[in-house]
Amino acid sequence: MSRCLQRVSAVLITVALLLIQAGPAAASRAQDLGKRGETNIAADALILRPLGLVATAVGAAVWAVGVAPIVAITRPMDLGESARYLVARPAKYTFVDPLGYH
């Protein structure tokens, strides 16, 4: 049984070492994809912008019904932060950002 445990450990260590080397390559690729113009403009206009509109509406409803009353009672100074995250960011993406920007 000890021999089997040693083999499994060796395989797991080998896989871990290989995955550690793949991390920086994946991060580099993710940074490259973040450059302007990487998103297909048609996909942005036909799929992502309508989803942004839905996210804005759902975020506004969740904020107005669930989050705003609780935050207003417990931490009134943080109302803007929750509204920014749930409403303003999706609205900015949907209505302000240029097509193909993301």
Position 101 scores a pLDDT of 77
Q: What is the pLDDT of residue 14?
A: 65
What's the confidence (pLDDT) of residue 63?
A: 93
Domain shared by 18 and 50, yes or no? no
Whether residues 98 and 49 share a domain: the answer is yes
Q: Are 89 and 51 in a shared domain?
A: yes
Q: How many domains does the chain have?
A: 2
93 in the same domain as 70: yes
pTM value > 0.85:
no
Q: What is the pLDDT along the chain (102 residues), one digit of tens a residue?
A: 677 777 777 765 665 555 566 555 545 555 555 555 566 888 888 899 999 999 999 999 999 999 999 999 999 898 899 999 999 999 999 999 988 877
Find the domain containing 14 and state its range: 1-33
- State the pLDDT at residue 92: 94
61 and 25 both lie in a single domain: no
| 3 state SS for 16-80 | HHHHHHHHHHHHHHHHHHCCCCCCCHHHHHHHHHHHHHHHHHHHHHHHHHHHHHHHHHHCHHHHH
